[in-house]
Structure 1
């Protein structure tokens, strides 16, 4: 897994960017990025997707977030789908943050996955970066058919210090 980069946008927000070469076609990767059953293994919230531009998204806390962070079990946040091009682009708002997923065929049957997550505050960016890194490791394992016998939450904690040091 390639480490992500943390940079600043022209308006002072923070952009996290991950680029990963995957040996799977975009259609297969798209499923892992949008199928609720696949998302449960790696996405940091339970999400209701309607992949229609303008549609509202609902993000619910997971039992692990309740346990680790003391969030209320009924805590939800919302977002809006901005753009959808199946097996190519998915962009949406999660509260005030923008997530842009892009899949580009690499000419060998695989693809490049790029995630750009734009956040408002630098302080939260490092934890987000570590979390996405861990989550994308799970995505790669799912695609490869490998069992994940570790917690992405624990892995994110391990990675957090390295993101703070490199940024």
Structure 2
């Protein structure tokens, strides 16, 4: 069973959203930090980091291997082993906040502040949900095989968010 549950979202003005996920993962924060902040780690579940300058103000270029989307931007928050935030063209602000729970468990709080229509919101919720399932698999030693990726899971998730979303969305 997946450790990823449905996200919440709230409207932040016309065509502007804040998406939130909170995951409780049975992995030490060091493993998550690596997965969220290194080219090798990111490739296993999210995107190829063609450029990743790991410091505040550093340049970032991520290339999604499942959709060929390329986003450039900067590191807009960096607190080693605790917070990594990237602000990217077309993706908005994505923030990962880690909180260790004991020595072998971590809470990951994720925010994505972005523009877009209601349809974009549903697409992004489904996309992040799927990527967090891929993160869970990568942490378990099964990184994504991008050559065999299909959009079947994402389509099911989008449908679920479409029917589930109105109850979880704050106006």
Normalised-by-shorter TM-score class: 0.7 to 0.9
Question: Distance in 2 between the 1:152 and 1:21 partners?
Answer: 26
TM-aligned CA deviation for residue 3 of structure 1: 1.3
Return closer, same or farther for 1:31/1:116 CA change in 2, 3 Å cut-off.
same
CA-based RMSD: 2.2
Aligned 8 A contact 1:131 1:153 in 2: no
What are structure 2's unaligned runs of at least 5 residues? 166-171
Residue 106 of structure 1 is matched in structure 2 by 101
Q: CA deviation at 1:120?
A: 0.7
Equivalent position to 1:40, from 35, 40, 43: 43
Report the Cα distance in structure 1 between the residues aligned to 2:29 and 2:5, rounded to whole angstroms.
18
From 156, 159, 165, give the equivalent of 2:157. Answer: 159
Alignment length, in residue pairs?
Answer: 156
TM-score, normalising length: structure 2:
0.80
In structure 2, the partner of 1:51 is 54
Q: Secondary structure at the residue paired with 1:77?
A: strand
Structure 1 length-normalised TM: 0.82
Q: 1:147 to 1:95 in 2, by over 3 A?
A: closer
CA contact (8 A) 2:45 2:131 kept: yes
In 1: Cα distance, 2:143 partner to 2:75 partner: 31
In structure 1, the gaps of 5 or more residues are 67-74
Rate the CA distance shift 1:154–1:82 in 2: closer, same or farther, 3 A: same
- 2:57/2:75 contact within 8 Å kept: yes
Equivalent residue runs for 1:76-155 within 5 Å? 76-95=70-89, 97-107=92-102, 109-121=104-116, 122-146=118-142, 151=149, 153-155=151-153
Deviation at residue 61 of structure 1 after TM alignment: 5.0
Query: Structure 1 residues 33-42 or 132-141, which shifts more?
Result: 33-42
